[in-house]
A and B are shown apart, each in its own frame.
Chain A
Amino acid sequence: MRVELVRRPQQSALFSALSPFIALGLTLIAGAIMFSLLGKNPGTALYYYFIDPLTGIWDPSNRWQLHELAIKAAPLILIAVGLSVCYLSNNWNIGAEGQFIAGAIAGSFIPVVFPGFQTWATLPLMLIFGMIGGAAYASIPAFLKVRFNTNEILTSLMLVYVAQLFNDWLVRGIWRNPQGMSFPGTIRFNEYAILPEIWPEAGRAHWGFVFALVAALAVWFMLSKTLRGFEVKVLGQSPRAGRFAGFSAKKMVFFVFLLSGALAGLAGISEVAGPIAHLNEKISIGYGFTAIIVAFLGRLNPLGIVAAGLILALTYLGGEAAQISLQLSDKSVRAFQGLLLFFVLACDTLIHYRIRFVGAPARGVPQAAAKPAGEAASHV
């Protein structure tokens, strides 16, 4: 017996629209099962995960939690918006985590190496450095793909570990704070190097969230209204038609990698210059990878990504809450996010394909194409 995916002649518009919500619902059900297997009351666990962090909406004394949500959502949205452009153009940048770290390092260069440089220009320069750092780091897999036809999935992913280890080496080595009691980490950034809070009286949310919203709007505009966005989509959907249109696939590889790298780098430096205020060895809690889920949950639409970023940010906060209240392992966050990505992709697949179970393996001419060519060679 064999399981086949057969393309549906037409896709249901209704289920296409509902698919992210179905995926969320299935994730909740699977999560409830997971919690009961861990011996926790699934109702309570889901409450801590998805309701407790949102109580700030109606309870002013918990409003700080909404700010925490914005802090977590900002890098997710920034990165995912860039990734959506990559994925729409059929370029698979999996290394946003590395570009995030590269941006954080490049931006931190100014306050760490020149701590005396304290003017109004410090912060803008840091942000620009962050974007350049992320873009430069993303240009490596882009160059390798264009020049040597390497697989960008592998190269961009491997460069994540390079960036992580390089950062680790910096904050334990030449950039370590001499007064840091030998903890890994740089000196604390000076006040000109700190990304300020949007509304300091209410909570800690910083301007990174505003950057994320602006980036989402700008990229949405580019994708849906401009010739450049058209070029991204044509080259992603039908590369040959794109070449016929006179669009360059190679230039597009650089464009999308530089754009997504710059946005990931901006997210990195915003994170470091914002809540953390110094560079250390654990600046990311996997934002670059979670952003992949955000991009797909948001259906590669920058406006959908804003909503998806808030949802995934909730799982981070909920995971912390559940850890404190129910002693759930913090690994449950990762499990949750993995389930969500699985269900999102499964729902999307089932919109385009239906499952068919095939009895006996069919033989014959049209099927021959599906068989490995080695079978024929074995007769020789």
Chain B
Amino acid sequence: MSEDHGSAPADLLEVRGLTKIFGQLKACDSIDLLIARGEIHALLGENGAGKSTLVKMLFGSLEPNAGEIRWNGSPVRITSPSAARKLGIGMVFQHFSLFEALTAAENIALSLDAGTPIATIAAKSKALSYSYGLPLDPYSLVGDLSVGERQRIEIIRCLLQTPQLIILDEPTSVLTPQEADKLFETLERLRAEGKSILYISHRLEEVKRMCDRATVLRHGKVVGHCDPRQETAASLARMMVGNDVHAVTRPPVDGLAEAQALLQISNLNRKPATPFSIPLKNINLDVRAGEVIGIAGVAGNGQGEFFEAVSGEVLQDRASTIRIRGKDAGRLSISGRRLQGAAFVPEERLGHGAAPRMKLSENLLLSRHRTDRGAFVGGLGMIRTPAISAASQRIIAEMDVRKSAVDPEAAALSGGNLQKFIIGRELDRKPLVMVVNQPTWGVDAGAAARIRQALIELSRAGSAVLVISQDLDELFEVSDAIAVMHNGELSKPMPRAEATFEKIGLLMGGAEPGHVEHPQEVA
């Protein structure tokens, strides 16, 4: 698969024994990696497997404790991102670093040498973007662009520096299936030009489809190199996780048509709170007892605003806009809605769903001090420490939360384990209405399966469950019907039996329901 470029060695990048230690933890343990010219190389691994640490070392953001990096056959030390760029390594981050109030061209200018006129940069980026099939208007404000378009800015910014190796970190996690297809075309084009790509993902299907070779990491170690096209998704998953992941089962529900709607949202509107937040437009949705409704959508289409409105962190003007178990709840605070039997899990774990510097038992109190006042709070407002400790230990056991101390601070847990605790904290109440935003964002496969199964079981026990997620695989696994949020509007829920990736993807891209043609590219 690698072609010879004159006398240059076939391998563009060679990594030997690269190790990074944080305190007690070996985040990367003696990693070996070979990237040939003109290949798309997948880096696979669960969250916390060491992928990010490895690429940060390749991009100069972190310094390795041991090991060697060879570039074009000669050893190099990559001390900073600018050193990496000088060598010819470019990176597109999962979380963009763009200023919303500046134009695309201005954002690109920030990463280039000072002194280049904006007009030159704009012209260059425009030409480059069209030649790679990623049309971009360099004078548009980043704040007005979709996430997919913002990613284009990052890619163009990276390509402008003519890198030989491009590192892409989970690039499709923010794209619709159609946008992802576009990206794949671009990547194949880059490969044809002889550029190498290091592609980080946990989506096995796309890795199988596109990548020439794969390196799989687990717990900071390389567990294997393989050709993903020779493997099945199941065999790749087994390499990543180390054992078989239990598939989520979704038993059918009977009598849903007559079931009571436990959560009713009617004509929910919300003005944007900041210039860059999304207004909610006339949202209607009923979630009945016994069903899971999924809300799909590309990030930043109003999901966060919707969650705040439903949870009661932001109140509605009319009490009847939100009804919980048939009672008006639009003017109730989040505590009032919880007392009606609702439970909420926000997207951000640290700083929203949990206070990072507080112990797990205290974080239990965070969402349950009103609903379980009798059990957790005594006379003089005194916290009953034994009661909250016992309850948090019960949740930890129930959800299999792995931790290093008896009652550690929330920030000390890995993302997946903290998420299991936060979900468990609400499930433990047996809520009649459960609203979850991104239930398994950044959670490893084993924990994600457990969380999804728990949500399905809750609904089958007679609760109404609303899941907001960017992960289509997840929504297809758990939902009985899927609605799509686009630009602050919510489509009608589509029954699971009718829904396909293609249909949902079109809605995510902004097509009208029932529309068949492809969405217009916004240039």
Interface size class of B (residues with CB under 8 A): 35 or more
Check if A234 sits within 8 Å of B80, measured CB to CB.
Answer: no
Binding-face segment, A175-183, A192-200, A359-367 = A359-367
Q: Are A234 and B355 in contact (CB under 8 A)?
A: yes
B10 neighbours in A (Cβ, 8 Å): none
Stretch at the interface among B113-121, B228-236, B256-264: B113-121
CA distance A228 to B369 in the complex (A): 11
The reply to whether A366 and B351 form a contact with Cβ atoms under 8 Å apart is no
Q: Taking the complex as formed, is A230 at the interface, i.e. its CB lies under 8 A from any CB of chain B?
A: yes
Find A366's partner among B81, B346, B348, B381 (CB 8 Å cutoff).
Answer: B81
Is B109 a contact partner of A234 (Cβ separation < 8 A)?
no
Q: Which residues of A contact B334 (CB under 8 A)?
A: 243-246
Query: Which residues of A lie under 8 Å from residue B383 when comparing CB positions?
Result: 225-227, 230
**Would A380 and B106 count as touching, CB distance under 8 A?**
yes
Report the nearest A residue to B333, measured CB to CB. A246
Tell whether, in the assembled complex, residue B113 and residue A369 are in contact, meaning their CB atoms are under 8 Å apart: no
In the docked arrangement, what's the CA distance between A50 and B153, Å? Answer: 64
Is B273's beta carbon under 8 Å from chain A? no
B366 interfacial contact with A, CB 8 Å: yes
The answer to whether B381 and A241 touch across the interface, beta carbons within 8 angstroms, is: no
Q: Does B7 contact A (CB under 8 A)?
A: no
CB proximity to B under 8 Å, residues A14-53: none
**Contact indicator per residue, chain A 364-375, by CB within 8 Å of chain B (1) or not (0):** 111111010101
- Whether A375 touches B80, Cβ cut-off 8 Å, given contacts A238-B356, A241-B352, A245-B369, is no
Does B420 have its Cβ within 8 Å of any Cβ on chain A? no
Q: Does A356 contact B (CB under 8 A)?
A: no
Q: Is A237 an interface residue (CB 8 A)?
A: yes
Whether the Cβ atoms of A241 and B355 lie closer than 8 Å is yes
Determine whether B354 belongs to the interface, using a CB cutoff of 8 Å to chain A: yes
Kindly state the separation between the CA atoms of A69 and B313 in the bound complex, as whole angstroms. 49
Contact with A along B313-357 (1 / 0, CB 8 A): 100000000000000000001110010000010101001111111
Interface residue from A228, A366, A375, A377 paired with B114 (Cβ < 8 Å):
A375
CB of A358 to closest CB in B, whole Å: 9
Cα distance A360–B91 in the bound complex, in angstroms: 22
Q: Does B285 contact A (CB under 8 A)?
A: no
- Contact indicator A376/B369 (Cβ below 8 Å): no
Minimum C-beta distance from A157 to chain B (A): 29
**Which B residues are in CB contact (< 8 Å) with A367?**
81
A interface, over-half SS: helix
Contact B111 A226 (CB under 8 A): no
Among A227, A241, A365, the residue within 8 A (CB) of B377 is: A227
User: Is B358 located at the chain interface by the 8 A CB criterion?
Assistant: yes
**B366: which A residues are within 8 A, CB to CB?**
234, 241, 244-245
Q: Which residue of A lies closest to B114 (CB)?
A: A375
The contact of A364 among B23, B81, B114, B311, by CB within 8 Å, is B81
**Given A227-B369, A245-B369, A379-B117, are A364 and B111 also a contact pair (CB < 8 Å)?**
yes
- Which residues, 321 to 380 on A, are CB-close (under 8 Å) to B? 362-369, 371, 373, 375-377, 379-380
The interface residues of chain B lying within 8 Å CB-to-CB of A67 are none
Find out whether the CB atom of A225 lies under 8 angstroms from the CB atom of B353. Answer: no
Whether A379 lies near B116 (C-beta < 8 A) is yes
A366 near B61: Cβ-Cβ < 8 Å: yes
B353 touches A244 (CB 8 A): yes
Q: Does A206 contact B (CB under 8 A)?
A: no
Contact surface of A with B, Cβ cutoff 8 Å: 9-10, 225-228, 230, 233-234, 237-238, 240-246, 362-369, 371, 373, 375-377, 379-380
* Given A366-B81, A369-B97, 10 more pairs with CB closer than 8 A: A10-B23, A227-B381, A233-B358, A238-B356, A240-B352, A244-B352, A364-B81, A365-B93, A375-B110, A377-B102
List 19 contacting pairs A-B, 8 Å CB cutoff, sorted by A: A9-B23, A226-B381, A227-B365, A238-B352, A238-B356, A244-B353, A245-B369, A246-B334, A246-B338, A246-B369, A362-B81, A365-B91, A365-B97, A365-B111, A366-B97, A368-B107, A368-B110, A373-B99, A376-B106
Q: Which 5 A-B pairs have the closest CB atoms?
A: A246-B335, A226-B381, A376-B106, A368-B110, A364-B81
Q: Which residues of B contact A (CB under 8 A)?
A: 22-23, 61, 80-82, 85, 91, 93, 97, 99, 101-102, 106-107, 109-111, 113-114, 116-118, 157, 311, 313, 333-335, 338, 344, 346, 348, 351-358, 362, 365-367, 369-370, 377, 380-383
